[in-house]
Chains A and B, each alone.
Chain A
Amino acid sequence: MNFTLKVWRQRGAGERGRFVIYPARDVSPAMSFLEMLDVLNQQLVLKGQEPVAFESDCREGICGSCSLVINGIPHGPDRGVATCQLYMRRFTEGTTITIEPWRAKAFPIIRDLVVDRGALDRVMQAGGYISSNTGGAVDGNTILIGKDRAESAMDAASCISCGACVAACKNASAMLFVAAKVSHLALLPQGEPERATRAKALMKAMDREGFGSCGNQYECEAVCPKSISVHFIAAFNREFLRATVAEPGPLTEIPSDPHAEFR
């Protein structure tokens, strides 16, 4: 198969980026999208040119590293898969494929198609965890919960933090990510004691990182490689309202940026 690739090239965060056109010849339909880019990069290296920088790790859809907007859709045209699980047979012979990085203020470009998703980590550091005593760890299933609840928590926990929801959102909002993390922990007995502070802390952290607000267009759900439902966003909205009304907490304010010392 032959394609024309229109790839975003950018040397660094502050630099000006532009599209560069590369031909992709004799591509096997059985190649994954990333393997096709590997072949392109080999050709570029042989020609003495700079290869296209893109991120990948596990290449089996669970690490959340690969992050390409392909023809205007994060993770490309297939539903419920990451870029690494997308195969070239999915594309029409001879067409132009546009490849862009995740575009959001919170995700500054490191190089070409690689963006810094540290913002998602900092949101998690704000409260996306449970506090537990050190020492002999208690078995996770010591406290029994119902099957339905376990399934719902697992649906939310399947988030691989790839950031496709942010990339797809008109407002570059991370609500599906935040909602999945908050719901996952709020549904489990281990996460229950801190659910109110967690919901409020993650909300503030999301705003602080420069993500937009949710427009309820549900594009995030449509591109999520794990097909996480927007019902978790409604659940998170409820969680935030409940936290605000039922557990307002002490008057002392959470420091505006808990990570200031690490910057």
Chain B
Amino acid sequence: MTRLFTVLLTSLGSKVVVALTGLGLAGFVVFHMLGNLQVFEGSESLNTYAAFLRELPILLWSARVGLLLIAVLHVGLTIRLAIHNRRARPVPYAVREYRKASMASRTMALTGGLLLIFIIFHLLHFTAGVVDASFSDRLDPRGHRDVYGKVIHAFQNPWFVVLYLAAQGLLGLHLSHGLSSSLQTLGLEHPLLNRLFRAAGPLVAGIVVLGNAAIILAIALGVLRA
């Protein structure tokens, strides 16, 4: 056990855990987006899907605890690495020119931190109903919780639209570097597949952002109504 920890606490060991948890979170984000796209099929479809997810308390809570654990590992180890990295260069350069580092890669700490704040807000908004309690307890004609109504209500408010679209921008940046970077950290490299590995981040990030933004904009522009 001690040996496992000494490996995990080397910088590369920590990075591997950050990469694996990051890929786990990215996978969740993709399925979250795909599930939410059911909003386009109407209230019945989305509410039945939401009820299906909640039907098995064991599954629901193990998923929640699992995600929480993954997120804690991801954030905790990243903070530890970031502190170590800051200490590695005590005197900064007066002039600095980047040749290859993308905007996304240079802002990982910032986008990650803001995303964490957004995720907490998002959970308080849709899951806990603390931010906006309306629709949280309403049931649809079939007796399911009216998730569809709540989503429509939220994105008819322009403030929520701006906030959630901004969060999509952050998510896109974070994912575009994080995903490809995770593959490199896990040693996935092959002359035939390198272009695919490098493109995976921006590609998945683009799909997730497009899918999520489509939901927000469709409601904001009145394409989807209650």
Interface residues of A (CB under 8 A from B): 6, 8, 17, 19, 69, 71-73, 98, 100, 103-106, 170-173, 203-204, 206-207, 210-219, 221-223, 230-231, 233-241, 244, 248, 251, 253
Contact = CB atoms under 8 A, between A and B. Distances in A.
Among all A-B residue pairs, the 4 with the closest Cβ atoms: A238-B187, A234-B189, A212-B88, A213-B11
24 contacts: A17-B91, A69-B93, A69-B95, A71-B95, A71-B97, A72-B95, A72-B96, A98-B94, A103-B89, A172-B85, A172-B88, A212-B85, A212-B89, A213-B11, A213-B14, A214-B11, A215-B108, A218-B100, A219-B99, A231-B194, A234-B187, A237-B184, A240-B13, A251-B3
A103 B184 contact: no
B97 A211 contact: no
B186 A241 contact: yes
B81 interface: yes
A228 B92 CA distance: 25
A173 B181 CA distance: 15
A214 B177 CA distance: 13
A241 B187 contact: yes
B12 A237 contact: yes
A36 B117 CA distance: 52
B16 A171 contact: no
B107 to A, nearest CB: 11
A213 B81 contact: yes
A251 B84 CA distance: 27
Interface in B106-125: 106, 108
B7 interface: yes
B62 interface: no
A207 B101 CA distance: 23
B99 A222 contact: yes
Contacts of A104: 88-89
A146 to B, nearest CB: 15
Specify the main secondary structure of chain A where it touches its partner: mixed
Interface string B1-33: 001001100111111100000000000000000
Given A215-B85, A238-B189, 4 more contacts: A73-B97, A104-B89, A173-B85, A214-B15
B101 A213 contact: no
B187 A235 contact: yes
A209 to B, nearest CB: 10
B36 interface: no
A100 B108 contact: no
Contacts, number: 125
B185 interface: yes
Given A103-B89, A213-B11, A214-B15, A170 B101 contact: yes
B89 A171 contact: yes
B98 interface: yes
A213 B13 CA distance: 10
B90 interface: yes
A201 to B, nearest CB: 11
B102 interface: yes
Nearest to A211: B88
A224 B100 CA distance: 12
Contacts of A171: 85, 88-89
B48 interface: no
Contact of B100 (A6, A217, A238): A217
Contacts of A235: 187, 189
Contact of A248 (B3, B10, B91, B188): B3
B87 interface: yes
Given A219-B101, A235-B189, A170 B106 contact: yes
A237 B96 contact: no
Contacts of B95: 69, 71-72, 98, 100
Given A103-B92, A251-B3, A234 B106 contact: no
Contacts of A210: 87-88
B38 interface: no
Contacts of B84: 212-213
- Scoring B6, B98, B106 by chain A CB atoms within 10 A of each residue's CB, the highest score goes to B98
Contacts of B92: 103
- Scoring A19, A104, A216, A237 by chain B CB atoms within 10 A of each residue's CB, the highest score goes to A216
A213 B187 contact: no
Contacts of B94: 6, 8, 19, 98, 100
